[in-house]
Amino acid sequence: MSRRTAFGLVAGAATAAILLTSCASGGGTDSSSNSIDGDVTGEVTFVTWRTDLIQDGTFDEYAAAFHEKYPDATVKFEGITDYEGELKTRLSTTNYGDVLGLPNSVQPDQFADFFEPLGQTDDLADTYRFLSAKSYEGVQYGLALGGNANGLVYNTQVFADAGVTEVPATEDAFLDALAAIKANTDAIPLYTNYKDGWPLSQWSGNIGAITGDADAQNAMTGNDAPWTEGTDIYAIDSLIYDAVHDGYTEEDPLTTNWEQSKVDFATGKIGVMALGSWAISQMQGAATDNGVDPSVVGYMTFPATTSDGTQYAVVGGDYNLAINKHSKVKAAAKAWIDFLLEDSGFTATQGMVSALLADPLPDNLAGLTDNGVELLELNPAPSGEESLFGNIADTAQIDIWGNIYRQKLVDIARGAADGDKDSYFAELNSRWADARAQQG
């Protein structure tokens, strides 16, 4: 996989996760010779979800430049395809690298069990974006590698061939566009990437975009029935259901393939996919590799417009880089994080929003700004409630930032499982309400 299992993507996001137990106590006790402020020496193991950047040599180039800057330090890479799944297991040991993307299965009140503090959040706020997601009680445990807008990539040529002349700004207009693609082209209108699973979680990055409410996710913790018309999560899952039910998605979702989908999208066999803006550069690369003009890759926000006529796109941090509290090379690990954020040029080449406040927005978000879309960063959870959303989701066994409950949604919509949209949303609301009650 050349992508995270999505997550994060949004400040404050939490995934329904297996609760983790801290490793053996005492492992995080630091010494003056092994702190993030010590000498930059030793070999850093970087455990990463970006397997594509290992395969194409990008990370090797970064490692060489890092070693040139710090002659006594080196970096080696370990790429993991099922990143979230494998890290859940490895966090029960001390063997999870020196630097890693902080897994979304770890709740904020568990950060200190696994990761080295990087400083006080307030002290870092003048330098970095996207801090709230991996801060707990004023201490920062992760720094976003970069950030993304959330929405959908679409093939501009497929839209043109279908006769769709305007980017859809409402759910109905979006479904009409999918119908036109199905009627007028040979492309699959909307590709779910059901089999790989993690792309289905990308839809959750749009929570907040529909209502324009920076507290939309926080509001779910106070709502016994979030899958009710008028909420963001209802709009998202309703659109998925309707698109599948009306036959606008791949015929056999059990055979989807993420890597192949990038080629199929670039070559006009797919109209739309729900993915963060991180995917733009990968789709452009697939286009170039297949002799297609990369300008065919368009980007739109979730097709919804608020009552005042505004469209929003949620912007938030990608995976946050964290340091294993058991690492023996913490200073070198911190230097590697700083290098990636400040010196590598990673976000510029990937078309991501830089985590550094001083850096401008990337050019590939021009499609949003040109259409008058406003960028929205979600508010952090209130103090003392940093883990509440994740705890409710865990208890309800609804993986908002996973794929299982949405795969069932797709199965119901395509007739492969019992029920309908109303019955499934009623089930989700019941489970959510029961979980809220258990959380007190």
Instruction: Give pLDDT tens digits for 205-264.
Output: 999 999 999 999 999 999 999 999 999 999 999 999 999 999 999 999 999 999 999 999
Q: What is the pLDDT of residues 308-351, one digit of tens each?
A: 999 999 998 889 999 999 999 999 999 999 999 999 999 988 88
User: C-alpha distances in angstroms, 425 versus 192, 362, 430?
Assistant: 20, 37, 9
Does residue 17 carry a pLDDT above 60? Answer: no
CB neighbour list of residue 127: distance below 8 Å, 6 or more residues apart: 356, 357, 358
Q: Is the dihedral of CA 298, 299, 305, 308 positive or negative?
A: negative
Residues 42-146+318-360: name the CATH superfamily. Periplasmic binding protein-like II (3.40.190.10)
Contact of 153 with 176, CB cutoff 8 Å: no
Contact of 219 with 24, CB cutoff 8 Å: no
Which stretch of 53-57, 99-103, 200-204 has the lowest confidence by average pLDDT? 53-57
Could you tell me the pTM of the whole model?
A: 0.78
Contact of 136 with 386, CB cutoff 8 Å: yes
Comma-separated ranges of CATH 3.40.190.10 domains in the chain: 42-146+318-360, 149-317+363-440
Contact of 184 with 161, CB cutoff 8 Å: yes
Which runs of consecutive H residues, i.e. helices, occur in 258-319?
A: 258-266, 279-289
Please give the structure tokens belonging to residue 345. Answer: 């040029």
In the structure, what pLDDT confidence band is assigned to residue 383 with cuts at 50, 70 and 90? confident
What architecture does CATH give domain 149-317+363-440?
Answer: 3-Layer(aba) Sandwich (3.40)
